């Protein structure tokens, strides 16, 4: 039984991935349980995992070199799946130093520990935000990613560059996965689907930035977990980048209509100006990962939102 380290293991994606893998792998997790949103949500995410004999989680920061060293020394880790990050585009404009410190220093600490412990596989959670404010899709992995629109996006570009460097220097296979707007049960409360659904249920106005024409490629959590899991068996290239997205690009206005339909209640729209850092479009070209790994997202936006609304109850 192989041992996998998952950083950000108590988060939305991390806990969902751990649940998928824990019966067949030993899972070592690390999470800071910080106050970006209510830490109780993360503790609930791992409540059942904590009862599993194959799961152990450390509470701490990926910038803590001593803790990282202890984790790697105490466990025979065969692969690192690095999901931990300071998340959110808009908050990164307000706290740029924090975002750069956590996302760049933390990633470097983990890659250095991977090198020192002769671990040969490192999977890094990047983001569709690296594509910046492109107005025409679909976005493919060979596009220019030097025109980012937020410090969060810049930190993810830097993470990819650091991964490439360690792969080249130290013979570590690194795979960077550019996630496109992940949603589903356990989604962070600050993200649009969760925020809108809760406000609509309560009969409160939802803040809509711009005219509703912005478009996002939404990816259901089960499809994201499937894509990450498939990468565990990938061994073709020493350094690789894959888009990990859904098959649909949906406008903000249409998204709100779907949420209204699944909740059975009309939204009260509070129209707001466009926000700095926001981009007009995300549109994933997933042909590369589909051809390489057979990835095929199977949950459409209607089904995904319905599942999310059911989980709220």
Instruction: Residue 167: give its domain's CATH number.
Output: 3.40.50.720
Residues involved in catalysis: 152
- 58 located within any domain: yes
Q: Answer yes or no: is 300 within a domain.
A: no
Mean pLDDT, residues 193-220 taken together: 93
Q: Which residue has the higher pLDDT, 57 or 278?
A: 57
Phi, psi of 217 (to 5 degrees): -90, 105
The answer to whether residue 258 sits within a structural domain is no
Position 279 confidence tier, pLDDT thresholds 50, 70, 90: confident
- Residue 85 located in a structural domain: yes
Q: Is 153's pLDDT higher than 90?
A: yes
How many whole angstroms separate alpha carbon 172 and alpha carbon 77? 14
**Is pLDDT of 277 > 80?**
no
Pairing of strands 239-244, 268-272: unpaired
Length in residues, the chain: 313
Residue 293 lies in a domain: no
Tell whether 207 is covered by a domain: no
Whether 152 is in a domain gets the answer yes
Using CA atoms, how far apart are residues 84 and 97, in angstroms rounded to an integer?
Answer: 17
Count of domains forming the chain: 1
**Phi, then psi, of 105 in degrees rounded to 5:** -60, -45
How far is C-alpha 86 from the geometric centre of its chain's CA atoms? Answer: 11
User: What pLDDT was estimated at residue 274?
Assistant: 82
* 187 found inside a domain: no
For strands 239-244 and 173-179, give the pairing: parallel
Give kind and range of the element (H or E) at residue 92.
helix 89-94
Quick check: 276 pLDDT over 90? Answer: no
Average pLDDT over residues 77-105: 96
pLDDT of residue 134: 85
And the tokens for 168?
Answer: 């080249």
pTM score of the predicted model? 0.96
Closest C-alpha to 86, from 27, 35, 160 = 35
Instruction: State the residue range of the domain holding 154.
Output: 3-180+220-245
pLDDT at 280 over 90: no
Mean pLDDT score of the chain: 95
For the beta carbon of residue 146, count every other beta carbon within 10 angstroms: 9
Mean pLDDT to the nearest integer, 175-180: 98
Specify the pLDDT at position 24.
Answer: 96
Q: For residue 182, give the nearest of 228, 135, 147, 150 by alpha carbon.
A: 228
What mean pLDDT do residues 119-143 have? 94
């Amino acid at each position: 039984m192989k041992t996998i380290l998952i950083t950000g293991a108590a988060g939305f994606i991390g806990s969902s991935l751990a649940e998928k893998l824990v019966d067949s792998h030993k899972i070592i997790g690390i999470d800071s349980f910080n106050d970006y949103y209510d830490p109780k949500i993360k503790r609930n995410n791992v409540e059942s995992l904590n009862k599993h004999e194959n799961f152990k989680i450390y509470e701490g920061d990926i910038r803590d070199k001593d803790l990282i060293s202890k984790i790697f020394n105490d466990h025979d880790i065969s692969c690192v799946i690095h999901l931990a990050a300071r998340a959110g585009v808009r908050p990164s404009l307000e706290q740029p130093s924090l975002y750069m410190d956590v996302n760049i220093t933390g990633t470097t600490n983990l890659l250095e520990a991977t090198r020192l412990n002769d671990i040969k596989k490192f999977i890094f959670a990047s983001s569709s935000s690296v594509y910046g404010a492109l107005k025409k899709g679909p976005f493919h992995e060979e596009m220019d990613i030097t025109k980012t629109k937020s410090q969060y996006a810049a930190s993810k570009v830097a993470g990819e560059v650091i991964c490439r460097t360690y792969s080249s220097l130290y013979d570590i296979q690194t795979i960077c996965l550019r996630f496109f707007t992940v949603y589903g049960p356990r989604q962070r409360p600050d993200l649009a689907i969760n925020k809108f659904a809760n406000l609509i249920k309560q009969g409160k106005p939802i803040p809509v930035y711009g005219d509703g024409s912005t478009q996002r490629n939404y990816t259901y959590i089960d499809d994201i977990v499937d894509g990450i899991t498939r990468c565990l068996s990938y061994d073709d290239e020493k350094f690789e980048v894959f888009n990990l997205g859904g098959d649909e690009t949906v406008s903000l206005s249409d998204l709100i209509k779907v949420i209204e339909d699944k909740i059975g209640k009309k939204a009260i729209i509070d129209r707001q100006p466009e926000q700095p850092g926001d981009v007009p479009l995300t549109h994933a070209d997933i042909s590369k990962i589909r051809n390489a790994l057979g990835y095929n997202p199977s949950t459409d936006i209607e089904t995904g939102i319905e599942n999310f609304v059911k989980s709220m109850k």
